[in-house]
């Protein structure tokens, strides 16, 4: 029986989904605000629209890149610990591929490392 004080993966997934939904709302608001910049260009102040647009985009990219780099570093630092969580059979420790969940574990681990590589490659562009 699980300790009622412990968070389940479904609880964590739901909490993360709520935060991502909040972020999506922020993106919609920011996109709406960016639409309002058209008034500058339409009123003969194209330079003002250009400056506001690149300032907004540069700041957004800087903050997004900083967040992604922070998350990449955190999870890369945990890869060794996570790797050691591979399912094993006590009766056959030299044959980990026979353990239940072995294939799923390594597929998911590979997916995490692929996402971390994508973030790293994006930072190097």
pLDDT score of 87: 86
State if pTM tops 0.95.
no
On whether the CB atoms of residues 105 and 87 are closer than 8 A, the answer is: yes
Mean pLDDT of 83-88: 87
Mean pLDDT of 3-11: 80
How far is the C-alpha of 81 from the C-alpha of 89, rounded, in Å? 18
Percent of the chain with pLDDT over 70: 95
Residue 39: strand, helix, or coil:
helix
The terminus-to-terminus CA distance of the chain in angstroms comes to 48
Question: Is pLDDT at 88 greater than 90 in this prediction?
Answer: no
Helix (H) or strand (E) holding 123: helix 102-123
pLDDT score of 90: 76
Q: Per residue in 42-59, pLDDT tens?
A: 999 999 999 999 999 999
């Amino acid at each position: 029986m699980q300790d009622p004080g412990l968070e389940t993966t479904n609880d964590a997934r739901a909490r993360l989904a709520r935060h991502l939904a909040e972020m999506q709302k922020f993106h919609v608001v920011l996109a709406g605000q960016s639409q309002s910049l058209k008034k500058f260009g339409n009123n003969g102040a194209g330079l003002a629209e250009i400056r506001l647009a690149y300032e907004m985009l540069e700041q957004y990219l800087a903050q997004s890149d900083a967040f992604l780099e922070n998350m990449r570093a955190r999870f890369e630092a945990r890869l060794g610990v996570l790797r050691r969580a591979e399912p094993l059979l006590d009766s056959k420790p030299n044959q980990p591929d026979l353990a239940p969940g072995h294939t799923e574990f390594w597929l998911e681990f590979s997916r995490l490392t692929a996402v971390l590589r994508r973030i790293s490659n994006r930072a190097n562009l």
